[in-house]
Structure 1
Amino acid sequence: MAATLHDVARLAGVSIKTVSNVINDYPHIRPTTKERVEAAIAELGYTPNLTARSLRSGRTGSIALAVPDLALAYFAELAASVIAAAEASGLVVTIEQTGSGGRQRELDLLTSPRRKMSDGLIFSPLEMSQDDVAHLNVDYPLVLLGERIFEGPTDHLTMRNVEAARAATEYLIDSGRSRIAIVGAHEGELIGSAALRLQGYREALEARGIPFDGRLIGPSIEWHRANGARSMREIIERGAEFDAVFALNDTLAFGAMRALQEAGLRVPDDVAVMGFDDIDEAQYSIPSLTTVDPGRAWIARTAVATVIERIEGLDAPPRLLLADFDIVQRESAPAVAR
């Protein structure tokens, strides 16, 4: 049978309350007493009853993370970083995918009874919009990620999408490229990652006096490799001349590079390629991918720290926290034109 609190107290020769104080790291315990209790715990293999502890404290010791799709490398790597940050603070993470459930799936997630199984939620919606801001008025700690809703009632962490996309486009222009195609645009989108990154691209062109050419814009609703390849092939088939590609995420960039190679175009000699996200695979593609690091690691650490602050009772107005970004130069887009 599993050892109990009583068994530990009996073996250590102390009261049950003393054992509880040691387990909960109560500061005012004599070192010799603490050593005896810890030795008894180790000898008996005692495991605290976390359920009972949660009932007493009103906390579960876990937080939830909801992302659109773990098949997308960005969200998989974000989840890994959130888990690492939470574990460093003694918390576990439960993960949910909103997947293809659309807006209603995201709304249902906010009110699901499962929310009572965690102390707070880090939430990255993909289908909700500014019209849904009222749904963020929930009775638990909530940290919002992404670019779908702004000026809501919760803490919000997001990337500098416009500035980062402008910097990426300017990098390509400074390297000698002037006909820059876009892969991954969302037609008609006014808010969201694609719209904001396209805005940054257009601002860079305008600032450098380069006319915008709609023939260089390749739409793609989903941001997977196959979509990047398909979008790139469509641009090539239009016959518009281009000497660089800005893919709106790294996965699209990998697909685009495949399509370029199939068409006999060399990367970066004929066409430079820029991605966005700096996922791990970007270091190992051939050629390795020049890309934007949008601050994913910072976002994960700060999201966990922010939700913990709210769990612990921080009473302050909602905050908008913006991640810094960097251009990571690799082989697909050297800084100097070849």
Structure 2
Amino acid sequence: MGVSLKDIAERAGVSLATVSNVVNGYRPVGERSRQRVQRAIDELGYTPNLSARHLRRGRTGLIALAIPELTNPYFAELAEIAIREAGRHGYTLVMENTAAAYDAELSLLNGAQRHVIDGLIFGPVRVGRDEVLARTSDTPLVLIGEGVHDVPHDHIAIDNVAASRRAVQHLMELGRQRIAFIGARVGDESQAAHLRLRGYRAALTEAGLPYRPELVALTAGFGRHDGVRAMRNLLALDEPPDAVFGYNDLIAIGAVRAVLEAGLGVPADIAVVGIDDIEEGRFGTPTLTTIAPDKEKIAHLAVRRLVARIEGAAVTGPLALATPFRLVPRETTGFSSAAGTG
């Protein structure tokens, strides 16, 4: 037979109501009483029935993380952190793969899973500000990434313009002047791509270097193959680049592969920088210089803000937060791998 709240109350020498308040967080309890209840819980090995607790409150105990690419290591690493953080708050996090499809994003945004999930952490790619403002669902929502800005919802992302500017500045500090950008998109397909291109151009302007459209490579996607194809085209130019800034680490890794296949050296002939600091970049040969977003902070903040919204906690108005990032120099820009393993 399992341990009951009555068992805990008898062991702690407090009322059943006090135990219930501690276990369920209904009302504040004095510190001495809380410690006695917690000690009894530990001694008896009590494990709360989270499913029952959520049901009593009219919830499922599930929150969703909607991402555009299930196979992208960046999102996998972010999800792992978010899953742990959700568990600390008594919630189970489930994944929703939108495959960056407009219809899938819009359906999820408007509550396709509202009877299943208590809240949504959403990284949109195709839907924009208008769709978010017009959403018909009241399911608590936290936005991550760069797809949508200026909406009445918590929004957590890095400053893409500043991050890109820092990446390009690093390449210029190495004396590189023909710096390419791989991962540009046309139209409004990717707000992040536009922001990173803006940071690239800003760094060139600040350094007095000309913007060369032929060094900006459009890609259909943001994967390794996209980086390989774009880099091969850049190498075919009469004046190829001496450095490359990739939209993300996957594109940068593809670019490195193409350079090496062409018999050139990285970074001797072409230096390369990416964004995301995925694990693959730390163990490739050469190791990849990257801009590392604070994935821990992004995931922790997203989950905590969402849980607070779900549970009706007293929180400030919608939070728009640019999380920190840092440059991690590694072998693709001439630094030892030991210097960039962190």
Q: TM-score, normalised by structure 2?
A: 0.85
SS at match of 2:333: coil
Deviation (angstroms), 1:18: 8.0
| 2:187 equivalent to 1:164 | no
What is the CA deviation profile of residues 185-211 of structure 1, one whole-angstrom value per residue up to 9, with x for unaligned ones? 113348611110011101111111111
SS at match of 2:66: strand
Counterparts of residues 240-259 of structure 1 (less than 5 Å): 240-259=239-258
Could you tell me which runs of 5 or more consecutive residues in structure 1 were left unpaired when the two chains were aligned. none
- What is the CA–CA distance in structure 2 between the aligned matches of 1:206 and 1:31, rounded to whole Å? 60
Deviation (angstroms), 1:236: 1.3
Aligned length: 329
SS at match of 1:183: strand
Deviation (angstroms), 1:238: 2.8
- CA change 1:4–1:111 in 2 (3 A) is farther
The aligned counterpart of 1:140 is 139
The aligned counterpart of 2:123 is 124
The aligned counterpart of 1:153 is 152
The aligned counterpart of 2:197 is 198
SS at match of 1:267: coil
- What is the CA–CA distance in structure 1 between the aligned matches of 2:36 and 2:322, rounded to whole Å? 48
Letter in 2 for 1:184: G
Question: 1:62 touches 1:93 (CA, 8 Å); kept in 2?
Answer: yes
Question: 2:51 touches 2:61 (CA, 8 Å); kept in 1?
Answer: no
Deviation (angstroms), 1:317: 2.7
Q: TM-score, normalised by structure 1?
A: 0.86
SS at match of 1:275: strand
The aligned counterpart of 1:215 is 214
SS at match of 2:254: helix
Question: 1:232 touches 1:259 (CA, 8 Å); kept in 2?
Answer: yes
Deviation (angstroms), 1:150: 1.1
What is the CA deviation profile of residues 150-200 of structure 1, one whole-angstrom value per residue up to 9, with x for unaligned ones? 111211111110011011111101111000111111133486111100111
Letter in 1 for 2:63: I
- What is the CA–CA distance in structure 2 between the aligned matches of 1:33 and 1:276, rounded to whole Å? 47
The aligned counterpart of 2:81 is 81
- CA change 1:188–1:335 in 2 (3 A) is farther
Counterparts of residues 1-338 of structure 1 (less than 5 Å): 23-24=23-24, 27=29, 42=45, 48-99=48-99, 102-136=101-135, 138-189=137-188, 192-311=191-310, 312-314=312-314, 316-334=316-334
Letter in 1 for 2:81: S
Aligned-residue Cα RMSD (Å) equals 2.9
SS at match of 1:172: helix
Moved more, 196-205 or 300-309: 300-309
Could you tell me which runs of 5 or more consecutive residues in structure 2 were left unpaired when the two chains were aligned. 337-342
- CA change 1:60–1:249 in 2 (3 A) is same
Deviation (angstroms), 1:88: 2.7
